[in-house]
Amino acid sequence: MTYTTSRASAFSEALRRTFGRPVEFGLVVGASATLLAALALVTLTLWRALPLEQPPWMRPQALVFAAGAQGEIDLAALQSALRHVAMVASADFLARDAALSELAQRKSLSAIGLTDLRPNPLPDAFLVRFVAGAQPEAVETAVAEMRKIKNVESVEYQAELYRRMALLSQLLARICLLLAAPLGASLIIGVSLAAILWVRIDQDEVRVLHLLGADPPVMRRPYVYAGAMSLLLAAALAWWMVTAAGGWLEPLINSAAQQYALRWTPAALPIWAGALFCLGASLFGALLGSLAARAAIRR
């Protein structure tokens, strides 16, 4: 076994280190691949769900009933007044006749004779939606302001429900934030540890080579190559896991997103993204190998 400063020699040393212990190597690559796959899945999920926003059904809304019969008041002026209230995103007109025909289509209501009522007992109304992320207190103030507008009969707003939903979504966001940072950090640390353990610096050899005057970059080279190769293989395996998991879960997620009106961009994973992921992991492995060897030289 010789020692030369060539890149080919460093590469064959790295190959010897990498494939010399196949069982250990399989375990380390498997563990690293699982961690990398978890990281990739979290990133992909965020990418597809971003920008994160409340689905329409979670946003606070109120029903504003107009006073008086059709033609007696200026509905356009009322709609404009509602739109000018703070925190209001939209105010859509719900015509009393349209509401009545929709009610009439419901069999349960036609059974109790609603459709036989004359004249139309329903008032004209506006469905007012508030801006996403509006605080319940601000919405309640806006609702109180609406009640004071001329020609507003009443405003139906479920204050308690939206207070609870706001509290829940705040809590959920904070828990996610709290978990995301340590989870991401522990995944990266896990991958780093696995790679460093795998590269397993030969401390004695590094010490002796340093003593004999080997160039530091030449000493680091086999470890850099071993780190890069290990994480390249782990990343390729991780990408396969992500693709397989995606194929399995995608239809379920798509239909759930549709049902709950959640933002979700279904997209096939492009090949360049996989190549970039593998390249990034490989460079990260090379960096870890270099840092571990550098630390061993300094010791």
Q: C-beta of 228: minimal distance to another protein in Å?
A: 22
Quote the least distance from Cβ 229 to another protein, whole Å. Answer: 21
- Name every residue whose Cβ is closer than 8 Å to that of residue 291 and which is 6 or more positions away in sequence: none
Judged by CB, which is closer to another protein: 107, or 298?
Answer: 298
Distance in Å, CB of 11 to another protein, minimum: 17
| CA-only gyration radius of the chain, Å | 32
Looking at the Cβ atoms of 202 and 250, the one nearer to another protein is 202
H-helix segments, the chain: 7-19, 22-49, 75-83, 96-104, 107-111, 136-147, 159-199, 203-212, 216-259, 271-298
**Least CB distance to another protein at residue 210 (A):** 7
CA distance 235 to 30: 10
CB of 212 to another protein, least distance (A): 5
Residue 161, token pair as written in the block: 């429900």
State the nearest-atom distance from the C-beta of 3 to another protein, in Å: 4
Judge contact between 235 and 277, C-beta under 8 A.
yes
Nearer to another protein, 94 or 209 (CB): 209
Nearer to another protein, 76 or 211 (CB): 211
191 in Cβ contact with 231 (< 8 Å): yes
Chain residues that interact with another protein, rule: CB under 8 A:
1-5, 204-205, 207-217
Q: Give the separation between CA 98 and CA 113, rounded to whole angstroms.
A: 17
- Closest contact distance (angstroms) between CB of 292 and another protein is 17
Nearer to another protein, 2 or 108 (CB): 2
- Indicate the residue among 102 and 215 with the shorter CB distance to another protein: 215
- When the beta carbons of 67 and 214 are compared against another protein, the nearer one is 214
Buried b (16+ CB within 10 A) or exposed e, 199-232: bebbeeebeebeeeebeeebbbbbbbbbbbbbbb
Distance (Å, whole) CA 135 – CA 227: 50
φ, ψ for residue 65 (rounded to 5)? -95, 130
